[in-house]
A and B are shown apart, each in its own frame.
Chain A
Amino acid sequence: MSVLVYVEQVDGKFKKSVFEAVSYAKAIADNQGGNLTAIAIGNVDESELKALGNYGASKVLNVTNDQLKNFVNQAYASIIAEAAKKENADIVVLSNSFSGKGLAPRIAVKLKAGLVDGAVELPKTDGGKFSVKKIAFSGKAFAITELTSAVKIIALNPNAFGVKETTGNITIESFSPEVKATDLTAIVKEIVRATNKISLPDAELVVSAGRGLKGPENWGMIEELADLLGAATACSKPVSDADWRPHSEHVGQTGIAISPNLYIAIGISGAIQHLAGVSSSKVIVVINKDPEAPFFKVADYGIVGDAFEVVPKLIEALKAHKG
């Protein structure tokens, strides 16, 4: 029994979601009595690779190849599938990130493997069945999905499992499978990344605002609140449709689905399509001037009031709290 986890790097470093995926994969390996190998592609600092040991990986396959500096899912999928074969992996774990979504399905086809994406719990193996709970209907439900194939692939939702530290030794092994030219036909021309911003899908805290804010010029206080909290910013669909905010911030049924520890919704009514993407947040705070706003029905904490008065006061209170 062996588990392989793909550790996605960004500029040679790992993000929290990677340590979460390793922690999750380690728990599976322990439950099934097996060992955990990680695979890293691109140029990752040695200290980063060693850090994977703190989350339970006993070996990391390190693929360094200048052709693979940028993410090309075809080539990456081939390498991960090769690694899975080499390690006789029964289970392959990835983060359900943007890249993970492009990668996992290709690996699944290569290994004739069933894939659960958006997993939110450890697999259950009752009665010889291997099943995993995943988000379905945009967060309005969960689907318990059984994987019936020999090799199984799981893409873990960010923030679903948490990071679990352990102690252990890790060996770094260089791995250099051949890369087919036909796997490199898509060419990355440019990467634009706002490094100072917390990315929404990974964020533990999210401050979100809707049409109640009246116009893009009023987002200053939303950003200030988010900065103070160390939160990412999000918005409702009409807000991004009107170009008040970028589409990448739009959450909900047709935007992205998130499950942060804290979701603060300001001037958002709580339409069913909006709730679909945010209702699996652990704690929801709603600020709305309408006490009848449907969002209050799914909120944990609420303030009925005008955002233009409440948010500046909240910022003051937060500053005071932080001292």
Chain B
Amino acid sequence: MKILVCISNVPDTTTKITFTNDNTQFNTAGVQFIVNPYDEIALSRAIELCEGGKGTVTVINVGESQTEPTIRKALAIGADDAVRINAAPRDAYFTAYQIAEYAKTTDFDMILCGRESIDYNGSQVAAMIGEFLDIPSISIIKKLDYDGSTATIEREIEGGKEIVSVSGKFVASCAEGTAEPKIPNMRGIMSARTKPLQAIEAKEIEQVSKIDSFETPPPRGTVKLVPADETAKLIDLLHQEAKVI
């Protein structure tokens, strides 16, 4: 079995988000980059499914050379090899196209993504890969079992879950619950240095979107404190002043 896991390189979750160049660029100064937390979950499930010699896991990232430490981290967690498509990911459409084009050159049984990248929060790449390859895509999954040909997947829906079965190749985007994120151990970190990491050039495709600028939310006013024994006053404020109940 061969599994392809898509990894995006995102700012650490504690990052204070600021912008430069007239709010057109994310300010990367002093920012620590990590493997997107959901992609860690996808990768961990892929590694579990391949345990005991049942298969191999390839990680893929669309990014310029500065994403290599993040790719090495994925190798340290336990991926077997890695591919980097050498381009700045301009949008999900571009990214998904690159990954789909690469996937066509190798015979993968499944492609796993994270539910969304925590920077642009698109939730787009996985389903777009599915469409570029004309194979099923299941978005926002919480559980994935695979018997070698058929996958049984639990997908999140509003107020519940749906159980889907897919035979043949598919793409899925993984959310919490799919696996416990694995932490690299010393052996993993050592061996990651020598695992294969191949860089290939991107292909051109029409541009469909671009980010013009960013805004940060307006700061909130100061909190209005209500004494602990005056809960009725809080209800009153929510009813009369805030008008939310």
Query: Chain A, interface size: which category?
Result: 35 or more
Q: CA separation between A212 and B149, bound complex, in Å?
A: 45
Known A106-B127, A303-B226, A317-B232; further 18 A-B contacts with Cβ < 8 A: A98-B157, A105-B124, A105-B127, A113-B208, A115-B208, A129-B212, A140-B17, A141-B216, A145-B210, A185-B168, A186-B166, A187-B164, A189-B165, A253-B118, A298-B220, A301-B237, A302-B224, A317-B231
Asked whether A145 lies within 8 Å of B131 as measured between CB atoms, the reply is: no
Which residues from B are CB-within-8-Å of A141?
17, 19, 214-217
Asked whether A106 lies within 8 Å of B235 as measured between CB atoms, the reply is: no
Asked whether B156 lies within 8 Å of A248 as measured between CB atoms, the reply is: yes
B19 closest partner in A (C-beta) = A141
A79 CB, min distance to chain B CBs, angstroms: 14
Convert B142-158 into 0s and 1s, putting 1 for each residue whose CB lies closer than 8 angstroms to a CB of A: 10000000001001111
Asked whether A136 lies within 8 Å of B119 as measured between CB atoms, the reply is: yes
Tell which of B92, B124, B152, B215 touches A142, judged by Cβ atoms closer than 8 Å: B215
Asked whether B138 lies within 8 Å of A145 as measured between CB atoms, the reply is: no
Asked whether A109 lies within 8 Å of B128 as measured between CB atoms, the reply is: yes
Which residues from B are CB-within-8-Å of A310?
228, 231
Asked whether B228 lies within 8 Å of A303 as measured between CB atoms, the reply is: yes
Interface centre among A139, A193, A309 (most CB of B within 10 A): A193
Which residues from A are CB-within-8-Å of B134?
182
B40 closest partner in A (C-beta) = A254
Q: Which residues in A have some Cβ–Cβ distance to B below 8 Å?
A: 10, 15, 71-74, 77, 97-99, 101-106, 108-110, 112-118, 129, 131, 133-149, 182, 185-195, 197-202, 205, 229, 240, 247-248, 250, 253-255, 257, 261-262, 272-273, 276, 279-280, 282-286, 296-306, 309-310, 313-314, 316-318, 320-321
A202 CB, min distance to chain B CBs, angstroms: 6
Which residues from B are CB-within-8-Å of A97?
158
Interface centre among B160, B177, B223, B229 (most CB of A within 10 A): B223
Instruction: Say whether, besides A186-B164, A298-B220, A317-B231, A148 and B38 are in contact (CB < 8 Å).
Output: no
Asked whether B123 lies within 8 Å of A109 as measured between CB atoms, the reply is: no
Tell which of B126, B155, B168, B210 touches A148, judged by Cβ atoms closer than 8 Å: B210
Which residues from A are CB-within-8-Å of B136?
72-74, 185-186
Which residues from A are CB-within-8-Å of B124?
104-105, 108, 115, 117
Q: CA separation between A96 and B212, bound complex, in Å?
A: 22
B205 closest partner in A (C-beta) = A112
Tell which of A101, A149, A247 touches B127, judged by Cβ atoms closer than 8 Å: A101
A116 closest partner in B (C-beta) = B209
Tell which of B177, B216, B223, B232 touches A140, judged by Cβ atoms closer than 8 Å: B216
Instruction: Say whether, besides A148-B207, A192-B162, A99 and B176 are in contact (CB < 8 Å).
Output: no
Which residues from A are CB-within-8-Å of B242?
262, 283, 300-301
Asked whether B121 lies within 8 Å of A138 as measured between CB atoms, the reply is: yes
Nearest first, the 6 A-B pairs at minimum CB distance are: A305-B228, A102-B139, A193-B160, A114-B209, A114-B208, A199-B159
Q: CA separation between A187 and B194, bound complex, in Å?
A: 41
Which residues from A are CB-within-8-Å of B238?
262, 283, 285, 301
Asked whether B176 lies within 8 Å of A254 as measured between CB atoms, the reply is: yes
Asked whether A133 lies within 8 Å of B215 as measured between CB atoms, the reply is: yes
User: Is B37 part of the contact surface with A, judged by Cβ < 8 Å?
Assistant: yes
Tell which of B162, B210, B237 touches A146, judged by Cβ atoms closer than 8 Å: B210
Q: CA separation between A192 and B207, bound complex, in Å?
A: 40
B128 closest partner in A (C-beta) = A105
Asked whether A109 lies within 8 Å of B93 as measured between CB atoms, the reply is: yes
Which residues from A are CB-within-8-Å of B156?
98, 248
Q: CA separation between A116 and B14, bound complex, in Å?
A: 25
Instruction: Say whether, besides A98-B158, A304-B225, A320 and B232 are in contact (CB < 8 Å).
Output: yes
User: Is B186 part of the contact surface with A, judged by Cβ < 8 Å?
Assistant: no
B154 CB, min distance to chain A CBs, angstroms: 9
Tell which of B38, B121, B163 touches A257, judged by Cβ atoms closer than 8 Å: B121
Instruction: Say whether, besides A74-B136, A191-B157, A283 and B228 are in contact (CB < 8 Å).
Output: no
Q: CA separation between A73 and B215, bound complex, in Å?
A: 33
Asked whether A98 lies within 8 Å of B223 as measured between CB atoms, the reply is: no
Asked whether B128 lies within 8 Å of A73 as measured between CB atoms, the reply is: no
Which residues from B are CB-within-8-Å of A253?
13, 37, 118
B160 closest partner in A (C-beta) = A193
B176 closest partner in A (C-beta) = A247
Q: CA separation between A285 and B210, bound complex, in Å?
A: 36
Q: CA separation between A103 and B155, bound complex, in Å?
A: 14
Asked whether A201 lies within 8 Å of B220 as measured between CB atoms, the reply is: no
User: Is B193 part of the contact surface with A, judged by Cβ < 8 Å?
Assistant: no
B239 closest partner in A (C-beta) = A321
Instruction: Say whether, besides A73-B127, A146-B209, A314-B234, A286 and B223 are in contact (CB < 8 Å).
Output: yes
User: Is B130 part of the contact surface with A, judged by Cβ < 8 Å?
Assistant: yes
Asked whether A109 lies within 8 Å of B140 as measured between CB atoms, the reply is: no
Asked whether A191 lies within 8 Å of B160 as measured between CB atoms, the reply is: yes
Could you list 26 examples of A-B contacts with CB < 8 Å? A98-B155, A98-B156, A99-B157, A106-B137, A117-B122, A133-B215, A136-B121, A137-B118, A137-B119, A139-B217, A143-B214, A145-B210, A185-B166, A186-B170, A188-B162, A189-B165, A205-B244, A229-B245, A247-B175, A280-B217, A285-B234, A299-B223, A302-B225, A310-B228, A321-B236, A321-B239
